[in-house]
A and B are shown apart, each in its own frame.
Chain A
Amino acid sequence: MKIKSFDELSSLELDTLREIGSIGTGNAATALGQLLEREVRITLPEVRIMGYNEAIDWIGGPEAVTAGVLVGMSGQMSGVMLSVQQLEFVNLVLETMLGVHINDYAELDEMHQSTLIEVGNILISTFINALSGLSGIAVSLTVPGFAVDMQGAILAVPMAMYGGTSDYLMTIGGNFVCDKKQVPCHLLLSPDVRSLNFLLAKLGVAE
């Protein structure tokens, strides 16, 4: 049976998506570890189906400023994938790769920004490659977009995309752990409902 809305997913389907999240985030962590030349682990990935206002509370409030890298997906699967980079993560990347530390996003110059975009792009592409290899779904990705702004507005991008069909936002993703410290960098995959059905069917779990 095809689902019409994210809140209709069965527990088997949710487990499958969690597994996708685990493999995707795991691969992304390995890529990040190679970039930073240190060990990066992941926290237990989560699949969340949230109402709009709930999603914004979950990520840490609407007005908190974060950096976001966004990549659009098309091909056999459409939707967006976001890398929401909070300040701790930004500093982990900038300190390791460029040797600079920032206290506020306003200090980001062009070099810093393109570093963050590239890291975000690598994390997202690695995640999607893993998903693609696992399911045999061909996904093409757009050039990444970058914004530093209130995270409520960043998270509203996938919400607005599916707002016409769903009152919920589904995200698959996890956080990184580096030097035993949790570094918040939410990797969020938000496919649309049609793509989600296709993915579940490809993986053989659509009921």
Chain B
Amino acid sequence: MNEKITVGIADMKMARDSGVLITYALGSCIGLCFEDPALRLGALLHVMLPMNMEAGRKNVFKYADTGIRETLRQMTAKGALKTRITVKIAGGAKMFEVNGGSLGNIGQRNIESVHTILRQEGIRLIAEDVGGKVARTLLFDVATGQGCIRSYGRQDVLF
């Protein structure tokens, strides 16, 4: 059985050749599976917010913009090429339908931000399962590049 590597909230893990990267219960957060198939190098990133406006920038993986760039930096440092890297994303749901208040739709803003940053970096987005109001657990098998999304009350989605 493959080794499972858990990626927490605002976190990123990389694996090469084998291993299953997993991140649990993505609500409005977004999980991104990065892959360079030629190297069989994969990374799973779990971001929570669209933009890094923090002065200290302590936790780069909390935000879509700094998280994506740092992941790409670490992958290219291992020999990956940005022209080969592909990305699949899942998450960006709206868990509660609440009118008024200061809630807003963080999920939607996360999706838009991820799209924008990937376009800016010239990275191909090859699959996505985003939006809606369902939480998702995301598994990414580095050996095959296969992603799987588990949700409550919904069939597993392979992508």
> Count of A-B contacts with CB under 8 A?
120
When the two chains form their complex, are residues B152 and A52 in contact, meaning their CB atoms are under 8 A apart?
A: no
Q: Are B135 and A153 in contact (CB under 8 A)?
A: yes
Q: Determine if B24 and A62 form an interchain contact, defined as CB atoms under 8 angstroms apart.
A: yes
Please report the total number of A residues contacting B with Cβ < 8 Å. 37
Determine whether the beta carbon of A157 is less than 8 Å from that of B101. no
Q: A142-B101, A149-B134 are in contact. Are A156 and B152 (CB under 8 A)?
A: no
A74, B48: Cβ atoms closer than 8 Å: no
Is there an interface contact between B98 and A142, defined as CB atoms closer than 8 Å?
A: yes
Q: Assuming the A-B contacts A72-B102, A106-B153, are A145 and B62 also in contact, with contact meaning beta carbons closer than 8 angstroms in the complex?
A: no
Complex-state Cα separation, A125 to B51, whole angstroms: 33
Q: Are B100 and A152 in contact (CB under 8 A)?
A: no
Decide if A32 is an interface residue (CB 8 Å cutoff): no
A41–B136 Cα distance when bound, in Å, is 36
Chain A residues contacting B100 (CB-CB under 8 Å) are: 72, 74, 142-143
Q: Are A163 and B103 in contact (CB under 8 A)?
A: no
Q: Is the CB of B152 within 8 A of A148?
A: yes
Contact with B along A88-104 (1 / 0, CB 8 A): 00000000000000000
Q: Mark B18-48, 1 if CB is under 8 A from A, else 0.
A: 0000001111110000000000000000001
**Which residue in chain A gives the minimum CB-CB distance to B101?**
A72
Q: Which of A40-70 contact B (CB under 8 A)?
A: 52-53, 56, 62-63, 65, 68, 70
Q: Is B79 an interface residue (CB 8 A)?
A: no
A146, B96: Cβ atoms closer than 8 Å: yes
User: What's the least CB distance linking A156 to chain B, in Å?
Assistant: 4
Say whether A184 faces chain B, with CB atoms less than 8 Å apart. Answer: no
A72:B98 contact, CB within 8 angstroms: yes
Q: Does B137 contact A (CB under 8 A)?
A: yes
A167 within 8 A of B: yes
Contacts of A148 in B (CB 8 A): 152-153
In the assembled complex, which residues on chain A have CB atoms less than 8 Å from the CB atom of B58?
167
- Asked whether B106 lies within 8 Å of A164 as measured between CB atoms, the reply is no
Q: Which B residues are closer than 8 A to A by beta carbons?
A: 8-11, 24-29, 48-49, 53-54, 58-59, 62, 93, 95-103, 106, 133-137, 150, 152-153
A–B Cβ pairs within 8 angstroms, 18 of them? A53-B8, A53-B9, A56-B9, A71-B98, A72-B103, A80-B101, A145-B96, A146-B96, A147-B133, A148-B152, A150-B27, A150-B137, A152-B25, A153-B26, A156-B28, A159-B9, A163-B49, A164-B54
